[in-house]
Structures are given as C-alpha cells and as structure tokens.
Structure 1
Amino acid sequence: MIQAPMAGGPSTPGLAAAVSSEGGLGFLAAGYKTAQSMRAEIEAVRQLTDAPVGVNVFVPQPSVIDRGTLQQYALSLTPVAERFGVALGEAKHDDDDWGNKLDVLLELAPAVVSFTFDVPHAGTVADLQRKGVYVIGTVTSRSEAVQVLAAGVDALCVQGPEAGGHRGTFDATAPAGTQPLHQLLEEVSDLGTTVIAAGGIVTGDETGAAFSRGAMAVQAGTAFLCADEAGTRQVHRNALSSRHFNTTAVTKAFSGRYARGLYNEFMRQYDSTAPFGYPEIHHLTSPIRSAAAASESPEWINLWAGTGFRRAVKGPVSSVLARLQP
C-alpha cells in the first residue's frame, strides 16, 4: 500500500511517516519545492519514523508555449485576479530546481525515489541505485513503460486516467488519455517488471482488482486526502464531502498540464481556452489559487481529486490503510 505523492500541500512528513509506520510506503512530494525544502522534509520524516519513505520528483521538460499565447491567457484571467485583489504570477519556465534536488537525493539516499512527467536519464537512475535507492518511473501507456524500463528503473507506477492530480503523461500536449487502469495493467503485464497500480483506488475491492491484473502494489492518493495526518487545506476537505461538487474532470486551466480535480467554476470558465504551458501557467495562476483558498472560495482553486473521491473516508491513516486492504 503506497501513499501517492501529492504536491501542493497534502503530502507532508507527518502523513508519509504515518503511512510508513503503519506498514505502507509513505511518499514526500518534491514538486514545487526547492531542493532545500525537500531536504528539510526528508530530514523531518526521518525524525518521525525509521521505516522506509519515498520521494517523488518532477522531471523537467522544454517549454511548449509561446509568449503571445501566454499573454492572451493572462489577459483573460485578469477579472479573476482583480476579484481576489491579487496580481497574476510571473509566468516563468523553470526546471523545479532539478539539478540541486538530484544532488540532495544522492546525498541523503531515501529508500525510494519516483519520477513523474518524463524519463530520467539512465545515468541518473544508475547513480541513485548505486546509493541503494529503489527507483520507480511513472507511466500512462505501454510506450512510456518501455522507455522508462530502458532507463533502468526498478519498477513502474502505472497511472490510469482515474487518478487525481496531474497526469504523468510524457507528452504534455497530447490528448488526455482515457484508457482505464485495468486495461493499462494488462498492456504492460508482459514486460517482466514490478508494477504498481495507481488511479481510482480507494477501497479493498479496487486493490484486489489491481492485484488480479498483475499489480504487485497499489498507490492511492485521493484515499488519503481526508486523512487526519494529511496537509490538505480545509477548503479542499470541505469540497470533497460537499454535495455541491459531484464529479471530477480533467483540466489544463490551472497549470497548463492535464490534471484531474473536482469540477468547478474556474474549469467551466477557462478550460476551453486554456493553452498548454507547464509550468508557466501554474506560476501564472498561483496567486489566484492562494487567494481563493485563503478566502474559502472552492470554485476558484484546483481541488485535485480522483474519480473515487466519494468513497474516501475521514480518520487516521490506519483506517485508510485498513479500507484499502483487499
């Protein structure tokens, strides 16, 4: 039982330590953090548990958006920014402190490191493995799985479209995949490697279904969003249990990259015109999302959640893990 890395707040040292201490594998989410912040979280979790804990890192990619398109989208967002009394963020392209993070990971050597959004260089994988790190690559198709295995990873995390948060698809401008998790698991079953199933897994029945299709482990994120130990904001927790939000959708409006969350007003107004452009659009909309969260306005923030959000339960990590048991 693996707790998915959930960047942006839900994944905390406390949550990761609680999961690992209960016999699962907790994960820290290094996305959107500096290398020093990631270091601090690794050191913090080691103060809380001696059990293995993983760290997830975003693999940087080249920019895919032109300045004119970016400016046009920014102009369309101006009324929302004015509504919350903030300026739009600096729409910069960066590598999420990639090189420095690799240096810290090689120094501290966490038990597990997983990569999302692309294939890490084979040399990077080998360097980590020489430090005793178990390396996982996140994939959303058979072709991506083949690429990641060629880089030498130890296991695949196969992410179905049911998953909440960002899709791990390598081509950030490709149509959002719709092939369900159980089909993806069958497609990679002959590759002869350890497979972790992710996407829409909230209950023991769903865990059992993944195991029956060859998965050796399951990774759940939405199931942990309302756990006592999670860092999920209260406005997000409230929305997950509110009858006002009754479905999820995949959108690129918040970050310029496809991600699944509760369908709200921001998606309704902006998804059809939002361009691809990660992380520029992520940075552009960040002040709006922060201000909306502070004012408890769920219609204007990214409420990441998977398709199984209605089946998630509140309570301690131990109860979530028990519910995931097949």
Structure 2
Amino acid sequence: MSARDRVGSFCTRYGLRVPVLEAPMAGACPPGLAAAVAGAGGMGASGVVNDHPEKIADWVRSYRDLAGDAPLQLNLWIPDPPAPAAVDAQAAFLDSLGGTAAPAPGPGPEFTAQFDAVLRARPTAVSTIMGLLTPEQAAAARDAGIAWFATVTTLDEALAAERAGADVVVAQAMEAGGHRGTTDPAAGEDTSVGMFALLPWLADALRVPIVAAGAVTDGRSLAAALTLGATAVQVGTALLRTPEAGIDAGWAATLEGLAPEDTVTTRAYTGRLARGIPTDYVRAWARPDAPAPAPYPHQRHLVARYRAGERGGVDRVNHWAGQAAGRARTEPAGEVVAWMWREAQGLLP
C-alpha cells in the first residue's frame, strides 16, 4: 500500500483530514491548542497523567465546547511497579540549590479512576505510555468504542502492544521531547533508536498502523515519516511556540534556535528519563556531587514540593524539548499543522 493510501485509510478511520496528531503533553495541552489542531483537520490531545477524574472531565468539556465532536486522544501513563524509596539525599541536594519544600500534598490521582474517567469522556482514542493496558482494560475501551494507541520505543514493545490488542502503535524515536516511553523504567538510556532506524523496523513487522513521534516539525520530516512506513505523525515540540500553547515564557524562549545537540536526557524532573533543555537545574543533577534522582514517582513528588515551597534553583516547569525544537514556529497552531501537510503532499510520490 502506498503512503497516500495508508494516510487515506487512517484518516477515514479516525475522522481526520490531515495525518497529524497533537502529542498529549501533560501540562502543555490547553483545550485551545487541542481545538486548534483539530480545527486544522488533525487530532487534539491531552496528557492526563497528573489529573484527577474531575479535571479530566472539565478539560474534555472545554475541548468539546471549542471543537465539538472533533477527534481527541487522551493519554495515560501505565503505573510503574510500587517502589518505596528514601529521598533524603535528593531532598538535601534540592536544599543545597536554595529551595525549601512545602508539606507533602495529599495522594495523587489513582490510575483506575483516571481510566474510568477517560472511558466516560469517550475520546476517539486512549493512548498509553510506559506500558500496556490489561486485557480487561483493553476490552473496556473497545466496548466503549475507543481506540487504543500504545506508545512504543522498540520492536519488542511494538509486538507486545499488537498482541495485547492495540489498534495503533505510536513509534517514539529518541529525538522526541519529553518522557521516553519504555516499559522498563530502567531501560530509557538503552533504547535510543532514531526515527530512520525505528520506522522501517516496525513497518516490516507489524499489521497495525504506526504513528511516528519525534523530530517532525515540517513537511519534509512528515513526508519522510510516511515514506518510511508511518500512517500519521504525532507532533509536540513543533507546537510549543504557537500562541495557543501558552507555555512558560522562559521555556518558550529557550526553544528558539535550539540546536539538535543542545537537548539532553535527564531524570531530574520526575525520575523517568526524558529529553529536554539543559537548564541550570538539569545541569546541577549531572554534577559529580549530585545523587541519582529518586525513582518515579518519588522524584516528581519531591520536585513538586520544592516548586510549591521556596523553589530556589528548581525550574518552575519541566523544560521539555525534542531535538528539532529549533525549527518550531510561532504561527497559530492550525496554520502550522496545515502548512506541514501542504508541504508534505508536494513531496510524497
């Protein structure tokens, strides 16, 4: 099947006019950004890993007010196995950066409650990262008419997702900004596979459609991903400088002209490996005297407490960025999506 035929089939199946999905970036997907992507013919999204059920419902309500019944993806993190951890060394290091922690907050959102809230919201797709749905959860999504998009970083993960019933795999390459989607929390540093190697590897082995995620910021990279076997792309960093994203001004400013080699991977924000900008805070955790970040979610909870207290040298937000961040544009998100697809169509055979 040609790339154009694959795209046509995927778009028809999921109600799209263009094969562009917004990446579900937790904390950087306001309803207005998602609606702008959907208005251009793509699929809006939100990452709800940090959200209680009421917040999920409120976000979806706001999105529907703006976008009607346009396609929508909601993303959940599969919980890591419980890992009790002492965080004394990490807290002392944060203290040394000039911060003071706020009291520990109440319990965070529980995965089962989040999943049930997503089912009630009836998005086009529920996507997962860091693992797979259980057979019971996959059946519940299917019975609700919700597709399952599973994020993978290797062929083994992709085959496991296909066997588990995923309708689509999101192939996350090493170039992508934000968290690495490895099933094994410890494997992030060992799964650095680029898009040009990953996509053909998956396309030759899978029956389900593939969505490419990582370093897609213009029509050239979109067309390349489709030529290599993808049926659509998922873009996040490419949208961060759009006015609808509304991210922290300091974060947005550091994206301008950022060279591919100037992003780094770090566990400093959450304990899970992720790609971002080497801020002073991130560089501090790479010093020889720094302890290893605590496992997820302990590092994330600890960092949140220092942000809520006297932050000192703790970044106000996670400065995520993919390797193509320097090519992100500042036009409205809908214009960026439409431009990418126009340019790509002129390059596809």
Question: What TM-score do the two structures reach when normalised by structure 1?
Answer: 0.90
**Deviation for aligned residue 1:263:** 1.1
Matched residue, 2:37: 19
Once the two structures are aligned, what percentage of the paired residues are identical? 31
Matched residue, 1:53: 72
**Deviation for aligned residue 1:298:** 8.9
Whole-angstrom CA distance in 2 between matches of 1:313 and 1:148: 33
Whole-angstrom CA distance in 2 between matches of 1:63 and 1:26: 32
Helix, strand or coil for the counterpart of 2:97?
A: helix
Whole-angstrom CA distance in 2 between matches of 1:216 and 1:244: 28
**Deviation for aligned residue 1:66:** 2.8
Whole-angstrom CA distance in 2 between matches of 1:301 and 1:42: 23
Amino acid at match of 1:61: D
**Deviation for aligned residue 1:239:** 1.9
Contact between 2:177 and 2:276, CA under 8 Å: does it hold in 1?
A: yes
Whole-angstrom CA distance in 1 between matches of 2:56 and 2:316: 28
1:71-220 to 2 correspondences below 5 Å:
71-82=88-99, 86-87=100-101, 90=104, 96-176=109-189, 177-189=191-203, 190-220=205-235
Matched residue, 2:16: none
Whole-angstrom CA distance in 2 between matches of 1:324 and 1:298: 36
Name the count of aligned residue pairs: 317
Cα deviation per residue 1:227-283 (whole Å; 9 max; x = unaligned)? Answer: 111131222112222779971100001110101101121121113632351111011
Whole-angstrom CA distance in 2 between matches of 1:300 and 1:12: 18
Amino acid at match of 2:241: C
Whole-angstrom CA distance in 1 between matches of 2:108 and 2:154: 24
Instruction: From 317, 338, 345, give the equivalent of 1:322.
Output: 338
Consecutive unaligned residues in structure 2, runs of 5 or more: 1-19, 345-349
Matched residue, 2:7: none
Contact between 1:202 and 1:323, CA under 8 Å: does it hold in 2?
A: no
Question: What TM-score do the two structures reach when normalised by structure 2?
Answer: 0.84
Contact between 2:258 and 2:325, CA under 8 Å: does it hold in 1?
A: no
Helix, strand or coil for the counterpart of 1:324?
A: helix
Contact between 1:154 and 1:193, CA under 8 Å: does it hold in 2?
A: yes
Assess, with a 3 A threshold, how the Cα gap between structure 1 residues 232 and 268 changes in structure 2: closer, same or farther. same
Assess, with a 3 A threshold, how the Cα gap between structure 1 residues 245 and 300 changes in structure 2: closer, same or farther. farther
1:307 paired to 2:323 = yes
Whole-angstrom CA distance in 1 between matches of 2:105 and 2:257: 32
Cα deviation per residue 1:97-135 (whole Å; 9 max; x = unaligned)? Answer: 211112122222111110111111121111111111111
Whole-angstrom CA distance in 1 between matches of 2:326 and 2:96: 32
Contact between 1:89 and 1:286, CA under 8 Å: does it hold in 2?
A: no
Whole-angstrom CA distance in 1 between matches of 2:95 and 2:61: 40
Whole-angstrom CA distance in 2 between matches of 1:30 and 1:168: 15
Matched residue, 2:21: 2
1:63 paired to 2:82 = yes
Assess, with a 3 A threshold, how the Cα gap between structure 1 residues 5 and 63 changes in structure 2: closer, same or farther. same
Matched residue, 1:224: 239
Assess, with a 3 A threshold, how the Cα gap between structure 1 residues 298 and 212 changes in structure 2: closer, same or farther. farther
Consecutive unaligned residues in structure 1, runs of 5 or more: none
Assess, with a 3 A threshold, how the Cα gap between structure 1 residues 145 and 37 changes in structure 2: closer, same or farther. same
Whole-angstrom CA distance in 2 between matches of 1:87 and 1:139: 35
Cα deviation per residue 1:27-68 (whole Å; 9 max; x = unaligned)? Answer: 01112111110111011111111211111111111134532x
Assess, with a 3 A threshold, how the Cα gap between structure 1 residues 233 and 289 changes in structure 2: closer, same or farther. same
Whole-angstrom CA distance in 1 between matches of 2:224 and 2:259: 30
Assess, with a 3 A threshold, how the Cα gap between structure 1 residues 96 and 167 changes in structure 2: closer, same or farther. farther
Whole-angstrom CA distance in 1 between matches of 2:75 and 2:199: 21
User: How well do the aligned residues superpose, as a CA RMSD in angstroms?
Assistant: 2.5
Whole-angstrom CA distance in 1 between matches of 2:242 and 2:339: 12
Matched residue, 2:263: 248
Cα deviation per residue 1:145-195 (whole Å; 9 max; x = unaligned)? Answer: 111112111000000011111111111112422210121112211211100
Assess, with a 3 A threshold, how the Cα gap between structure 1 residues 124 and 183 changes in structure 2: closer, same or farther. same
